[in-house]
Structure 1
Amino acid sequence: MEFKTLADNTIEEILAVFNLSFSDYVIPFHLSKEQLVSKIEAEKIDLNFSVGAFEDGQLAGFILQSEKTENGEKIIYNGGTGVVPEVRGKGLVRKMYDFIIPLLKERNANVLLLEVIEENQRAIRAYENLGFTIVRKLLCFKGEINPAKYNEEISVRDLKDFQWDTLRSFWDIEPSWQGSVFVLDPIPESYIALGAFNDEKLVGYIIYNPAAKKVYQIAVDKEYRKQGIGARLFNSIKDTPEGQPVSLNNVDSSSKNTDKFLSEKVGLTNWLSQFEMKRSI
């Protein structure tokens, strides 16, 4: 078995192994080429320090990775780990990390970060054996948006000027990697960003990908909560496209108000939970 980065692999090669690896996952799923390209672009995955395991020259396992620097730390995010069924049981995930960690140290990386489905106890134990620890629980929601009562006095319009310091002041919880400022700044052209305004004052916002039907961030100014503003923002994307379920992933479980709002006011269901795990390099 040989280990090297994915810098020289085509999207088609990675896609084939990705889909085979996840075909019997806890929650099986399948990506098209366009969806994988979108994932790589959206999560800022860099194939130059993503790692692959190769058997007889053929890709058989991978770890997709991206990096950001935040609060003085360089964080390496695992955007997906997969091993094809035929070569499992050989400790390839550990061996891939053993290969790539020295390269990450050369990049002055400090922290490894990943997410794993709560029910995937085998993977959790494997990552714990690699030195990862659980740092928080993340809730994933999906469903059709209820036509909840909302504040009709609040206007909603495109948000063009991203004052992230102001938007951050609305937060109760830190977004996970996929909804982080690092990933969303600048906002991809395929995303919609809407602001809720009380007269000319920004009091809330939502960032949404209509093609993926996924909400990445939503927040309301703490001084304007419980006034139907969050419902107003969700209502503004309700028919984009009509009748299709919407998802919002990786909501920090410590925010009981967010959980209650999404479940009771918006009508979404917490269908899946994940653990965010970290380890120092």
Structure 2
Amino acid sequence: MNIKTLSQCTLEQGLHAWNKGFEGYFVEIDMSEEMFLTRLVGEGLSSKLSIVAFANDEPVGIVMNGFRQIDGKKTSWNGGTGVSPNYRGKGVSRALMEETIAIYEREQVEIATLEAIKENEVAIALYKKFGYVITNNLLFLRGDFEAKVDKQRSFQANTIRPEQLAHLPVYQEDVPWQCSWQSNKQGEAKVFYNDDQEAIGYLLYRTVWNQEGAIDTIILYQLELLENGKVEDIPYFLSTITDEKVKITAVNFLASNPATDFFIKNGLEVTTEQVQMKKYWS
């Protein structure tokens, strides 16, 4: 078996490794060339530090890696580990992880992160062998929601660019990679204040519009209630986007987030459960 960086591969080889690697997976992630390149750029993944395993000149496994400074620490993200069905259980995953950890150490990573489907016990066990520990439970939620609010409620909503979130003193930077502002520069953000000009919460989201020009879906990447915010404020937050019934998709929400419990109680269903895992270097 030979391991190359993604930058040493053709686009066709990288895409083949990805699509075969996630074939028959808990959640299949089959991508076109455009989707693959969009993911690479949009989520800050490195072609020079992502790797592809070859067997007899066939790409049979892949690990996508990204690197950022988060809370002042160099942090890596495993943006997908996949192995072709015919090569699973033959040591390819272990070889890919060994090379990945070696890359992280050469790059002086302080915290390595990843997410794994909760039911994927084999993968979780492998990551634990390489020093990862489970730090959070994450949920994908989906369902219809209508923001029914008292229009007399007084609060202020400021619409900002996603990248401006990083400059807010209240912004919580340590979130699942795909939910960060860096991964959602084409999205939208709002910050909410009470009458005393105290920040009570913020949103990072993207809207999907239907053919009639109305909002069909709100994809939520972050919904944070701050110290002065209350669960009862959530419908008011969403009403600043639309007060019509829409589909809500919540991506990688912490199970401990009060917003997660609110949405489940108000009709959204859990579609996928993941664990967030981290490996620390002292």
Report the TM range for the smaller structure's normalisation.
0.7 to 0.9
CA contact (8 A) 2:17 2:52 kept: no
Q: Percent identity?
A: 25
CA contact (8 A) 2:147 2:236 kept: no
* Alignment partner, residue 191 of structure 2: 195
Residue type of the alignment partner of 1:192: E
Cα deviations by residue, 1:139-180 (Å, 9 ceiling, x for unpaired): 2212222343355544545324825353636x6x94212223
- Provide TM-score, normalisation by structure 2: 0.81
Matches of residues 51-200 of structure 1 in structure 2 within 5 Å? 51-149=51-149, 153-154=154-155, 156=157, 158-160=159-161, 162=164, 164=166, 166=168, 168=170, 174-181=174-181, 183-184=182-183, 188=185, 190-198=186-194
Matches of residues 4-19 of structure 1 in structure 2 within 5 Å? 4-19=4-19
Residue type of the alignment partner of 2:168: T
Q: Which residue of the other structure, out of 216, 220, 235, is the alignment partner of 1:231?
A: 235
* Secondary structure of residue in 1 paired with 2:276: strand
Is 193-202 or 216-225 further displaced after alignment?
193-202
Q: What is the count of residue pairs matched by the alignment?
A: 270
CA contact (8 A) 2:118 2:275 kept: yes
Residue type of the alignment partner of 2:6: L
User: What stretches of structure 1 move > 6 A for 4+ residues in a row?
Assistant: none
Extract unaligned runs of 5+ from structure 1. Answer: none
* Secondary structure of residue in 2 paired with 1:27: coil
Matches of residues 266-277 of structure 1 in structure 2 within 5 Å? 267-277=267-277
* Alignment partner, residue 40 of structure 2: 40
* Alignment partner, residue 203 of structure 2: 206
Cα distance change on mapping 1:103 and 1:123 into 2, 3 Å: closer
Residue type of the alignment partner of 1:217: Q
Q: CA RMSD in A?
A: 3.0
Task: Give 1:28 shift.
Answer: 2.5
* Alignment partner, residue 211 of structure 2: none
* Alignment partner, residue 259 of structure 1: 260
Cα deviations by residue, 1:245-272 (Å, 9 ceiling, x for unpaired): 33212222233x222222234x322222
Task: Give 1:77 shift.
Answer: 0.8
- Once residues 116 and 242 of structure 2 are traced to their aligned partners in structure 1, the CA distance between those partners, rounded to angstroms, is 29
- Once residues 71 and 204 of structure 2 are traced to their aligned partners in structure 1, the CA distance between those partners, rounded to angstroms, is 24
Greater strand share, structure number = 2
CA contact (8 A) 2:23 2:84 kept: no
* Secondary structure of residue in 2 paired with 1:210: strand
